[in-house]
Structure 1
Amino acid sequence: MSEGQEEAIEAARKLFAGPVSFLLSAPSLKFLPDAIAPEIAFAGRSNVGKSSLLNALVGRNALARTSNTPGRTQELNFFDVGTPPVLRLVDMPGYGFAKAPKDVVKQWRFLVNDYLRGRQALKRALVLIDARHGIKEVDTDILDMLDAAAVSYRLVLTKADKIKPTELAEVASRTADAARKRPAAHPEILSTSSDTGQGIAELRAAVLSAIG
């Protein structure tokens, strides 16, 4: 690791060790907060471990709500990092929930698509992919939406501790190959685990670097 990378990781650690607080939930665009800070959005399937990863990112146990019921979060949840906020984390509604009514799925598409296309404060999206499965067909929908909206995004593997290192390397390689074929995707893949802390320091640094 270079000296510059170490400095970036330390700066990110200090930022996330400071004040982090829930701001609001927005069920529609009219409830969005004023765009006073750059935003980093987190997207992922409803059982990908998004809330757990957000909690690990900020070093809190219960900032983002975790649930045994996939697809429970159907709003844009905003969290301020720093006082005043240096940046905002946006927990987007999980997708791919099999039992959701069609109108709920439709509402998800409208909310997410409108946010991605119309939010100037949005600097980058992080799309979480379960390392045990890699990119699935249900993930391509959000990737297509991000490409169409020209929103820069990065793919982040979750639950990296649940598979063997050789398998993780293979999944990361396939995911990187897929990312290189997409116009708005960052080519480098991050592998993380909210349970062991793997990749969390690097994820924090990636979040901080995305806001410039």
Structure 2
Amino acid sequence: MAIKYETARYSGAYGTVEQLPDPTTPEVSFVGRSNVGKSSLLNKLLGRKSLARVSSQPGKTANINFFDVDGIMFVDLPGYGFARVSRSEKQRWADLIGGYFQQERSFNLVVALVDIRHDVQRSDRETLAFLQENGFPFVVALTKADKVSRSKQESQASALAKQFGISRSQMVVTSSEAGTGIQELRRRIEESCL
């Protein structure tokens, strides 16, 4: 059985933990740095041009956005790290993300996005450590693979797996430009939800 991605529709945005809707379906959460290409990857996964808002300015996702995809909730969390916003706004995002993960929800899969072009950033390491320590099922989507050569993709993926202390099989090399890894990511999502 496959998920009908083309049925995806925006379900709502929430700025505080108290506003989050009760979980009634499987959930796939997307987490990553502000400029990692989260909205672009979501749109590619869903086969839509602009369901998730893409911005040239990192940090535009300031709330938790929910998308109903064939009865499965895709949850787009605010990016962390790079965005040029006030300290209080960054704190609100941190509280929002932390509060989401502390709730009793159906965490079927967390897709942690990491830019393949860079060595592991501290914030990425902390995020993965948090997911591992709390037993969340996750896959690392290495984004922007179209920006590096094929041979570099593989060597960089292996290097990042080593830096994170995870198995290479827990990673999918992706590109929302070229469509690389999208089918594989969909397969992982379906395995965790269906």
Match for residue 110 of structure 2 among 125, 145, 148: 125
1:160 aligns with 2:142: no
Query: What is the CA–CA distance in structure 1 between the aligned matches of 2:42 and 2:179, rounded to whole Å?
Result: 12
Q: Is the 8 A contact 2:11 2:66 kept in 1?
A: yes
Match for residue 65 of structure 2 among 68, 72, 77: 77
Q: Name stretches of at least 5 consecutive residues in structure 1 with no aligned partner.
A: 1-10
Q: Which residue of 2 aligns with 1:15?
A: 4
Query: What is the CA–CA distance in structure 1 between the aligned matches of 2:171 and 2:43, rounded to whole Å?
Result: 20
Structure 1 pair 186–131 and aligned structure 2 pair: CA distance change class (3 A): closer
Query: What is the CA–CA distance in structure 2 between the aligned matches of 1:98 and 1:37, rounded to whole Å?
Result: 31
CA-to-partner distance for each residue in 1:147-201, whole Å, 9 max, x for gaps?
A: 343322111101111101121111110222244x36xx88421001111111111
Q: Is the 8 A contact 2:107 2:137 kept in 1?
A: no
1:170 aligns with 2:136: no
What one-letter code is carried by the residue in structure 2 that aligns with 1:173? Answer: S
1:57 aligns with 2:45: yes
- SS of residue in 1 equivalent to 2:186: helix
- SS of residue in 2 equivalent to 1:173: helix
Task: Report the TM-score when normalising by structure 2.
Answer: 0.92
Query: What is the CA–CA distance in structure 2 between the aligned matches of 1:76 and 1:24, rounded to whole Å?
Result: 8
Q: Name stretches of at least 5 consecutive residues in structure 2 with no aligned partner.
A: none
Query: What is the CA–CA distance in structure 2 between the aligned matches of 1:160 and 1:70, rounded to whole Å?
Result: 19
Q: Which shows bigger deviation, 139-148 or 24-33? A: 139-148
Q: Which shows bigger deviation, 142-151 or 34-43? A: 142-151
Query: What is the CA–CA distance in structure 2 between the aligned matches of 1:172 and 1:33, rounded to whole Å?
Result: 36
Alignment RMSD: 1.8
Structure 1 pair 100–148 and aligned structure 2 pair: CA distance change class (3 A): farther
What one-letter code is carried by the residue in structure 2 that aligns with 1:31? Answer: Q
- SS of residue in 1 equivalent to 2:110: strand
Query: What is the CA–CA distance in structure 2 between the aligned matches of 1:96 and 1:133, rounded to whole Å?
Result: 14
- SS of residue in 1 equivalent to 2:67: strand
- SS of residue in 2 equivalent to 1:125: strand
Query: What is the CA–CA distance in structure 1 between the aligned matches of 2:104 and 2:160, rounded to whole Å?
Result: 27
Task: Report the TM-score when normalising by structure 1.
Answer: 0.85
- SS of residue in 1 equivalent to 2:44: helix
Query: What is the CA–CA distance in structure 1 between the aligned matches of 2:162 and 2:58, rounded to whole Å?
Result: 28
What one-letter code is carried by the residue in structure 1 that aligns with 2:173? Answer: S
Q: Is the 8 A contact 1:45 1:139 kept in 2?
A: yes
Match for residue 95 of structure 1 among 72, 80, 87: 80
What one-letter code is carried by the residue in structure 2 that aligns with 1:16? Answer: Y
Q: Which shows bigger deviation, 152-161 or 112-121? A: 112-121
- SS of residue in 2 equivalent to 1:203: helix
State how many pairs are aligned: 194
Percentage of identical aligned residues: 36
